[in-house]
Structure 1
Amino acid sequence: MNETARTAPAEMPTETSHVGPRPGRPEIVAGLAAYGLLYAGVICYLTHANLPGAASGVVEFSLSAAMGLGAFAVAALLRIRRLAPFGVRRASGRSLLAAIGFGVLAYLLSAIVSLLYQTLTGDHRNIQTGYHSAAAGGMLWYLATAVTGFVATPIGEEFLFRGVLANALSRYGAPISVLVSATIFALVHGINPVLPVAFVVGVINALLLRRTGSVWPGVVVHGVNNGLAISLPVLAALATN
């Protein structure tokens, strides 16, 4: 092993480390362009699909996962064609366990910033009614929501927005990597009460990527946040009935 590889920060792979070259500008452009095209196709489909409430939530989560994974695949296959440089590599059990706590923290912080956003803007839209309907549709619908929304969607979005985007931007320093990737992640969720939630999750997960070198702790944080955000309102509604 050469001197550069021995002294490079463990959390962010470098051009000369054992995981190979990091993603860069080509991967950012390819990944975001692919995501934009997939996003447009999904919006067109959902506009004309007229899905019932419970089905719409599961379908939307499934499409979110597919968009992230599809765009990630385009970026990863462009030139690097290995998963480790994108942070898709093993994380320690300790990191994954800590990520559960960070997921709860993300949910609490997100609830606060979303409330502030709604207070300041007067925008009280609930754009997640389909997700809540799916989770409240019975055990099978809840399990489908959990698989697509608490597992698949976090994997797809973390692979793209942290594995590609935050990793590629890391060459410009931590502030750019964390804040720009989190901002783009927030904006793709639209200008609505979910935007500040996505920004908080994006910041926490980009920091975890820098700390651990792996996207998997961020997947756990994302999954816990989604699980709490979708499940708690459903449980509260059941408790009042």
Structure 2
Amino acid sequence: MSKVELSKVELSKKLDLERIIFIGRTFEEYLDMFSLSVEKLEGKKILDCPAGACSFTASGNKIGLDITACDIAYYHSVEDLEMKGLQDIEHAMEHIEKVKDNYVWDYFNDIDDLRGHRLHALKDCSNNRKEISERYIPVTLPTLPFKDNEFDIIFSAHFLFMYADRLDYQFHMKTLNELLRVSSDEICIFPLVDLEGKRYEHLDELILYLTDKGCTVEEVKVGYEFQVNADSMLKIKKCN
């Protein structure tokens, strides 16, 4: 196979819309998931990776924060992703309805309330991407197209560790190294469990690896729990 043919195959993988789950959380959920305040974020250059259909970038930039979103999904058009997001939200609601006991119904009142949050995030993300598309960067992890130390803080929600059945330890290691490369100060990852609510099996190994690299690593309980046991984040501080 020629290099041109290989490039076409790689691009096809990136653009396979059916493989993408396009669901996001709201700005307010981010504040709770990562124990944040707007004041803490002011004056910081922030990356949301991968951002999916989250409204963190849209809402944050509207109040003057400096946030960039990146995701493999952004290789697709806004219109295609919005349609996929609507389908994914309905599919997720049907699934969650069947396994309600796997979730804590304190943050959301019921399925309709949850659906409203997800639709709100999708709409805000889609509209903002039309307005300032340069803030939404298509990427294919574990590689990022950013400069060393480009961002002060990086947030990564509902991706790393959650899909431990599909993304192996080496992928997590490579992705963490890339996040460390483009961060100048702090990386926060939420949650620390897989899709079954079990603590990521290699988490202690990764923490040891990070501390050996000179990072300060802390598991922090947060005031947000929807999936059972998903109530902690990993806060990684680089040694400067």
TM (normalized to structure 2)? 0.29
Greater helix share, structure number = 1
Greater RCO (CA < 8 Å, at least 6 residues apart): 1
TM (normalized to structure 1)? 0.29
Greater strand share, structure number = 2
